[in-house]
Structure 1
Amino acid sequence: MPDPVRAAAVRAVLFVALTLLQAMIVLLFTLAGSWWAFPMVLATVASTVATTWCVLDVWVTRQVWRQRHGVVSVPSSTAREVRRVGRPRYP
């Protein structure tokens, strides 16, 4: 994976983890009846927007990198030459 794409992916994973943590905290605050639940809901909504932006950034960065640098074409194991086994010819 190219460096810009890797950096965007790491950033997205961190944001996803933070958003899931905030959602868990909101759930626990709500079950406990704490007044902190509402501010945490607002923070979680903002974090969800940021997480969506980061995930889209991974996709866009990957597409831009592919467009600028092209795709390296390396034959894979499935692209090997097929051996032609000759059949015996009958006269």
Structure 2
Amino acid sequence: MSSARRRRRLPDEVRAAVVRAVLCLAFTLVGLLVATLASYADSWLMTPALMAMGLGVFGTMWCLLEIMISRQVAAQRMRGPGQATPMAGSREPGRPRPFPQPAPPPAGPAPRQPRVPTA
């Protein structure tokens, strides 16, 4: 199996967060459908359906935030302590960074030093 075809598996906590987000989104869409049909029928169910839809939108956003946080935690757990963070740049591991070289002196004559009056 080539590495390009190999699929990376999500960690369990990320997969659970994705399942909760999909369920919450389904709950929101059902609330939207019930609210739409209740508004057409001029039914009293429209108010509870709108409240359920509002809670569903809040819950969906909460679940999406949970997915982002759990992915970051899982990535840090896989990297391990003491390793470079993703913000450190894209350097290959194991290759040391070269030390910065000092700047060459400016070309031309050296600048004159101001004379200090003596007493």
Per the normalisation by structure 2, the TM-score is 0.56
Structure of greater Rg: 2
Q: How far did 1:5 drift?
A: 0.5
Residue 51 (structure 2) aligns with = 42
Aligned residue type for 1:3: D
Q: Which has the higher helix share?
A: 1
Question: Which structure would you say has the larger RCO, counting Cα contacts within 8 Å and 6 or more residues apart?
Answer: 1
For residues 37 and 12 of structure 1, the distance between their equivalents in structure 2, rounded to whole angstroms, comes to 24
Question: Aligned pair 1:56/2:65, yes or no?
Answer: yes
- Secondary structure in structure 2 of the residue aligned to 1:59: helix
Residue 20 (structure 1) aligns with = 29
How many residue pairs are counted as aligned between the two chains? 71
Percent identity, please: 41
Residue 5 (structure 1) aligns with = 14
Q: 1:25-54 CA deviation, whole Å, 9 max, x = no partner? A: 100001110011012111110111011101
Q: 1:62-81 CA deviation, whole Å, 9 max, x = no partner? A: 0111012229xxxxxxxxxx
Which structure 2 segments of 5+ residues have no match?
Answer: 1-9, 81-119
| Aligned Cα root-mean-square deviation (Å) | 1.4
Runs (4+) of structure 1 exceeding 4 A deviation are: none
Per the normalisation by structure 1, the TM-score is 0.73
Deviates more, 1:36-45 or 1:62-71: 62-71
For residues 42 and 33 of structure 1, the distance between their equivalents in structure 2, rounded to whole angstroms, comes to 16
Residue 76 (structure 2) aligns with = 67
